[in-house]
Structure formats: structure tokens, C-alpha cells
Structure 1
Amino acid sequence: MAAVTAVPQELWSIVGTALGAVIALLGVVLTSWLAGRRQRQQLAHDASQRDLQRDHDVRESALDRKMQLRRDVYLPAIEATLSALSSMGSLCDPLVERKDVAKRWAEYMAAIGKANAIARVETAGAVGELGNNLSAMFFELSMLRGPIEQAYQKFLANAGVVERVLSEQRRWTELQTNAVVHGAVERDQWDRLVGQLDFVKRQFVEWSALRDEAAGELAEHQLVFLKRLAELQRAISVKGVNASLALREELSLKDDDPDALRAVYEDHARVASETITSAIEELSQKLAVARASAKVMLPNG
């Protein structure tokens, strides 16, 4: 205690000041170290957040590209599944070029094929089954198109002869009329005019009958086509609905209602079936009338 009291007051003052300075320095160093630590932690956190955000953005971008690809591929495929059937129906019309139908058909099948290439397993199964059935259907109906084309060409040829015979009939009628008006016609010339006109009239009746016969054959082949189309349409419409719904499900369209869509698609298929049935009934009635008319005219021929 004596040693402590022997220390001069000025020395204690210097020591106190030095200790205060050291403590203050330690405080500054500690504060700076803590601040640096917090800054390093913040920087590491920010870097981690940036990495997470970057990964998130990459995933979102990849998902957006994937969904855009699906929209670009699936929407045309859905349209193709609905349009393919109607394009096959046009094969029944001989005025529609087969090459035009084949071109549209190839476009529809290409759209369906693209969707099948990127779809999930379940969707690819539904789309693939539809594509296979559509191809088989198109091949079968294309075979039935052949007799329609042949009958139509026969009808056109006979109708062309009828037109030429009518032209000849008008010409000989005009010659006969001129002979009557001007008079002084030799008997053999008159007999020649009458005989030629009678021949042309018989030709008209004969070729008109052949033309009508070809028209009947055309209608019969179209009837066979439509009946088979109706059978195939009923069988394949379910597969078309399933494929369309599977594609829409992968698109995850907002407010999509699968049950409501199924009802809409099935209603469209029903209307299409009714349209084909109506065409069959109308063509059958016309064919029956034509046959009845031919039987009535046959005894007079």
C-alpha cells in the first residue's frame, strides 16, 4: 500500500490515460472486426441469394421455353386432330383434287408427329394411337376414292357426248327448219335430213341413259364411302378426344375444365356423325329416285 501511495499522481494520470487509449483502440479494433465480419456475412448472403435467384431465373426461363415450345407444337396438333377427319371426308367429293387432300393430310400428320415427339409418355401414347388410326383410316378411304374417280370420269365422258349430240341435234333441226321455210327440197334430201335427225335423237336418248347410269354408279360409290366413313368416324372420335385433352393438360391452360372440354369435343363428334348420317340418307333417297325413274323409262327405251 505504501508502494502504491509512493507512486506520483502524475504517473497514475499517465497510466490511466494510456489504459483508456488502449481500451479505446481495442474497442475500435473490435468494432471494425465485427463490422467486417457482418459485411463478409452480408456479402456471402447476397452472393448466395444471387446464386439462388440466378438458378431460379434459369429454371423459370427453361420452363418458359418449354411451355412456349409446347404451345407452338401442341396447339397446331390439337387443331390437326380435329381437322384431319373433315379433310378425309372431302375425299368423297370428286371435284376436290386428291393431291390437295393429301397435302393437307400430310400437314396435319406432321403437326401430330411433332407433338408426339416431345410429349410425356401418357400423352405420346394417346397421340400415337390416334395418329396410327388416322393413317389406317386415310389409307382405307383413299382406296374407296378410286372407284369414285373412275365413275366421275365416266360420267364426264358420257355427259360430254350428250352435249355434242345436243349440238348436232340443234344443227340438223336448224337445217330441217330452213328446208321447210325455203321449200323446193328434193325428196332424197328431205329423207336424209329426217333420218339424220332421228339418228341424233336416238343417240341423245342412248348417251343420256349412259350418262345417268354413270351418275348412279358415282352415287353408289359415294354411298359406300360415306357409310364406311361414318363407321370409322364413330370408332376414332373417342381417340381424338383423348389425344386433344392430353395435349391440353400438358399445356396447363388457365381455367381449363377437362370435363367441360370433353363434353364439347364429344358434342362436336356427335354433330359430325349426324352430318355424315344425313348425307347418307339424302344420297340414298336420290339414288332410289333415280333407279325408280330408270325403271319407268326402260320399257319406252
Structure 2
Amino acid sequence: MQAMIGPLSAGLSMVLSLFKEIPKEIWAAAVAAGIALLVAVSTNKNARRIIEAQLRDAAQLEESKRQMQLRRDVYLPAVKAFGQIAWTITNQLDVNVTDAAIREANRTAMADIVGIQVVAGSSMLAAVAELNRAAGELNMELTVMRARLMAIKSQVDASVLVETRETQTGTGLVELMRHHNLNGGTPEQWARIQTQWDLHQRALAGFVVKRREEQNALQRLNFEMMDLYKAKMPAVMALQAAAAVELRRELDLPTDEKEFLRLAKEAREAAGAALERATSALQAMASESAVNAK
């Protein structure tokens, strides 16, 4: 052991002697270089951290922009779809709007709203689901009633056509009577014309009664549909406004929820009052027509 320690001690003594012989200036330069190296290494690490953080922030910002653009692409058609839902429900009451037009508007609205499920948050999904539920229920009820309404309307149109043809027959008989009176004719000819006239009068009276009964049935069903609309549409419109508020939140648009909902409520009330006045006017016209018919 002592044999090994001896050479080792001699080596260390030689190294220490060499270190002692190194000038102070060289030591100072070496220390300065070491410090500079440590500073450079530390600076590089910090720079890498900053760059990595900036890259992460840039990636997150880019992803946020992408998601926002996706939301805009989905939500802007959805805004239109909210209006189409109201249009579809309202026009169920109008016999002059075709079933095909209503189906197409409803199909388009549903297609635009389905896209929301891909990008919307939970609050938006809940608001849209509630709107779809209420609107779907009312739309289905009105669709069933509209089917009956359109069937009765077809009967009325057919009765009007038959009544028009019978009226034309009566006009022809009047011409025959006038011709007979002006140019003369046999008693047998007059009797035949008179028989045809009596048959025409009875047939026309029956057609008129049938047409009026059908028109009354059409009016009653139309008023029932309007009553259903007045009872349930305000709730649909309120849910429509709530969904619009959630949509604005999702798009980071400034939204005064209370003010927005207040304005939406005023619009609903104004629409309800207008519909009430229109219903009253139609009922008054129907009552007047019934009195005149008697």
C-alpha cells in the first residue's frame, strides 16, 4: 500500500507545482472564460425555453383562430336556420305556401343546425337541443293539422269548381229561356227547359250548402291552428333568443344578455298582439260571411 501511495503523492505534488507556476493572468482569463461559458449555456437554455414557449403560444393562437373560424363557418348559417325554423312553423298556417317549400326550408334549417354539434360547447348544445325539442313538437302538431287543412281545402276547391260549372249550366238555361220568349217555341220545349231549370236550382243549392260547410270546417281548423300557434310559439321564440345569446358567447361577441332578451321579449309580445288582432279580424269576417249567407 505504501508503495502505491508514494508515486501518487509525487504525482500530485508535481501537478500542484505546475498549477503554482501558472501566472495569475492566465488563471483570471480561464476563470473569465469559464464564467462566460456558464453564462452562454444558461442564456442558450433560457432562449430555448422562450422560443419553445413562443412556439407553443403561436400554435395555441393558430388553433384558437382555426376553431373560431370553424365556429363562424358553422354558426353563421345556424343564425339563418333559427329564422327558418320560425318561418317553417308560421307558414304551416298559410294554405298558399306549398308543402314542398315548407319541407325544403325545414330540411335546410336542420342541416345547418346539425353542424353545431361538432364545434359547440355544452351550453350551446343544451340551448339548441331545447329549441329543437320545442320547435319540433309544435311543428309536428301543426303538420298533422295542416294535412287535414289541405285535404279540406282540396274539397273546397273541388266544390267551387262544381258550383262554377253548375252556374254556367244555369246561365245556358237562362239563354234558352230568353231565346224561347223572343222567338217562340212549343209548350213542350218550355216544359223541358223549366224541368232542367228546377233540377239546376236544386243541384246548385246543394252544391252551395256543401261548399259553405267545407269552408266553415276549413275556417274552424285554421282558427284551431292559430290558437295552438299563439299558445306555443312564444316559448319557441324565447328559446330561439336564448340560443342566439349562447351563439354570441361562443363567437366571443359582446352581449348584454338582459338587454338582448328584453328586446326579444318585446318583439314576441308585439308579434303576439298583431296575431291576436289578425285573428279577431278574420273571425269577424267569418261571422259576417255566415250572416250574409243566411
* TM-score, structure 2 normalization: 0.74
* Contact 2:81-2:109 within 8 A present in 1 as well: yes
In structure 2, distance between residues paired with 1:283 and 1:69: 46
Give the corresponding residue for 1:275.
278
Structure 2 counterpart of 1:34, one-letter code: V
Give the corresponding residue for 2:36.
31
The 5 A counterparts of 1:172-251 are 173-174=178-179, 177=182, 179=183, 189-251=185-247
Q: For residues 238-272 of structure 1, what are the alpha-carbon distances to aligned partners after superposition, in whole Å with 9 as ceiling and x for unaligned? A: 22122211220221154561111122123213312
Name stretches of at least 5 consecutive residues in structure 2 with no aligned partner. 1-20, 118-123
Give the corresponding residue for 1:76.
80
In structure 2, distance between residues paired with 1:43 and 1:205: 102
Q: For residues 268-293 of structure 1, what are the alpha-carbon distances to aligned partners after superposition, in whole Å with 9 as ceiling and x for unaligned? A: 133123312321221121122112xx
Deviation at 1:124, TM superposition (A): 0.9
Q: What is the number of residues matched between the two proteins?
A: 260
Give the corresponding residue for 1:11.
none
In structure 2, distance between residues paired with 1:38 and 1:111: 58
Q: Would you say 1:63 and 2:59 are equivalent positions?
A: no
In structure 2, distance between residues paired with 1:135 and 1:101: 13
Give the corresponding residue for 2:141.
136
In structure 1, distance between residues paired with 2:265 and 2:111: 22
In structure 2, distance between residues paired with 1:200 and 1:169: 11
Structure 2 counterpart of 1:236, one-letter code: K
Q: Indicate the RMSD between aligned Cα atoms, in angstroms.
A: 3.0
In structure 1, distance between residues paired with 2:201 and 2:67: 75
Deviation at 1:232, TM superposition (A): 0.5
Give the corresponding residue for 2:290.
287
The 5 A counterparts of 1:112-191 are 112=110, 115=113, 118=117, 119-170=124-175, 173-174=178-179, 177=182, 179=183, 189-191=185-187
* Contact 2:85-2:106 within 8 A present in 1 as well: yes
Structure 2 counterpart of 1:284, one-letter code: S
Q: For residues 171-225 of structure 1, what are the alpha-carbon distances to aligned partners after superposition, in whole Å with 9 as ceiling and x for unaligned? A: 5634754x36xxxxxxxx4435534543454455334423432331232112211
Structure 2 counterpart of 1:228, one-letter code: E
In structure 2, distance between residues paired with 1:164 and 1:205: 10
* Contact 2:238-2:264 within 8 A present in 1 as well: no
* TM-score, structure 1 normalization: 0.73
Structure 1 counterpart of 2:290, one-letter code: L
Percent identical pairs in the alignment equals 9
Structure 2 counterpart of 1:258, one-letter code: L
In structure 2, distance between residues paired with 1:136 and 1:106: 18
* Contact 2:93-2:226 within 8 A present in 1 as well: no
* Contact 1:151-1:215 within 8 A present in 2 as well: yes
